[in-house]
Structure 1
Amino acid sequence: MNIQNRVVSFIKSEDEFGGLSNLAEGYPLLVNGGSVPSSEHLYQALKFPDHPEIQDRILKAGSPADAVKIASNKVLAGVQTALSRRVNQQKFAVTSQIKPYSKKTEATQNPALKKAHDAKIRTDWNQVKLEVMDFCLRAKLINNWVQFGELLRSTGDREIVLKALKKESYWGLFTSKDGYCRCGYNHLGRLLVNLRDELNDPDNEPLRVLAPPAHLNLMLLGTEIEPIDRSEHLRQVGTRFSAQVAEVRP
């Protein structure tokens, strides 16, 4: 079998399997009774458990990509992105209000400002970020059981790969300059494969209740994240259990 037939890959959220991306829109979450636009919004917000004011700004970001910018303190770039989107939607240009994007527009150009911002990220982030991402993906599934579940199932038993830049090799794979090596850790792809395999298990009931691991101490807007129950989620959003939901059960 050709290697391409054994791999499901994505790089943009608009790709065929782009919904697997954490940057994909259209997969909202309900956490602690509040709406979270995407799993990326949640992931970025959880970097700052002791700073609900930063979390609030992240959760209000206009897109998952903007959430990343705010979490990285690229505030001006984030504002530009949102304004550019509004301009495109309205189909007219207000170039006087938009400065061309450059490194100079990023708040991170100030080393002292960046250092102060980064100091607010939980100190053990590099040690826990993989578990936090796993939690966010599971929250994405439990809140979008049909849509996201069907997408996961559609990958069959193939490897899932995020096509990444070299700087993103922790989460995906990048192709070496000579084209002979797929380099990186592909942690996002691995987490998705594990989640898919659990979903395909005849006994996938444990996936329907998501309790945050206690040792992660996940806080959102000053409150510890509560367990997410699929049946409770359906009750809150006013959706009844249906044949459509049953279709993704083994």
Structure 2
Amino acid sequence: MKDRSVKRVYKRDSSIIFRKTHENFGGLSNMASGYPIELSGVYIRTSEALYQACRYPHLPDVQRAIISQNSPMTGKMKSKLYRNNTREDWENIRVQIMKWCLRVKLAQNWIKFGTLLESTLEYPIVEESHKDDFWGAKPIDENELVGINVLGRLLMELREEYLKFKNTHDYVLKAPSIDNFYLLGSKVETIYSKENEHEYNRNHKIEICFQMNTFHGKVGESKRVTSSPSSTSGSMS
């Protein structure tokens, strides 16, 4: 991922801002319920639970403990108990993992999540956070937020991807090219759009190709502000 130390300024009156899941556009949050995921027969309530479980491919019992929690926040708290056992390359692959988790959320909630993404039009998407300016952006006054906003930028990328393929019935999502990428002891399989899986035609499939280390989504009229790498650590890491 490029520009990991670059912060941007976003204006409330010209951006889609989300924070709490019950508020407008709250479904964009990884914490949002109502966007369930199923991988190899394993039911996962939220994309946040999936993301946290990806820290521990070598510890299936820990993964099971995380995804079995009734709320994404308790799953995240459960994950924190084992942070010292996080896979060693996590800092290098966490954005790649997040990108994949968001696409899983879309693939398995194609109409519901896709419609939500489309409703943001071409506005910048920003997760507001008072602690984390890596995944989101922090408010600096009543109308401006500053942050790297990685999650928002990934969602903007995903919005463009959805608009490109929204009328197709063939959405195929391959697992990222990451060593030891396991869920509950099994390799993660290719995922098909859940709402369209019965119409899947292997002779006319569209494979979604990822360029995991770059952003291609629009960032609206946001300004760029440089910052030191030391200021980019966020609470959602």
TM-score bin (small chain): 0.7 to 0.9
Alpha-carbon distance change, 198 to 23 in structure 1, aligned in 2, over 3 angstroms: same
Out of 62, 66, 80, which is 1:72 matched to?
A: 80
The residue aligned with 2:134 is 170
Give the RMSD, CA atoms, in angstroms: 2.5
Q: Deviations over 1:173-223 (max 9, x none)?
A: 0023x6686222100000000000111125875981110122254210001
Residue 150 of structure 2, aligned match among 176, 187, 198: 187
8 Å CA contact retained: 1:128, 1:216: no
Match of 1:119, SS state, is helix
State how far apart, in whole Å, the 2-side matches of 1:206 and 1:118 are.
39
**One of 171, 178, 181 as aligned partner of 1:208:** 171
Query: TM-score when scaled to structure 2?
Result: 0.74
5 Å-filtered alignment, 1:142-161, equals 142-161=107-126
Mind listing any 5+ residue stretches in structure 2 that lack a counterpart? 1-10, 201-237
Which whole-Å CA distance do the structure 1 matches of 2:149 and 2:41 have between them? 32
- Whether 1:18 aligns to 2:26 is yes
Relative to structure 1, the CA distance from residue 231 to residue 71 in structure 2 (aligned partners, 3 Å threshold; closer, same or farther) is: closer
CA apart distance, 1:231:
5.8
The match for 2:191 is 228
The answer on whether the counterparts of 2:47 and 2:101 sit within 8 Å (CA) in structure 1 is yes
Q: Is the 8 A contact 2:66 2:78 kept in 1?
A: yes
Provide runs of 4+ in structure 1 moved above 4 Å.
178-181, 202-207
Deviations 1:124-159 (A, max 9, x none): 111101010010000000100111010000000000
How far apart, CA to CA, are the structure 1 residues paired with 2:171 and 2:49?
Answer: 21
Alignment gaps of 5+ in structure 1 = 74-116, 242-250
Which of residues 63, 69, 79 in structure 1 aligns to 2:71? Answer: 63
Q: 1:207 to 1:183 in 2, by over 3 A?
A: farther
| Higher share in helix | 1
| Contact persistence 1:164–1:174 (CA under 8 A) | yes
Q: For 1:81-160, what aligned pairs fall within 5 Å after superposition?
A: 117-160=82-125
Cα pair distance change 1:232/1:218, threshold 3 Å: farther
8 Å Cα contact 2:30-2:47 kept in structure 1: yes
- The aligned length equals 191
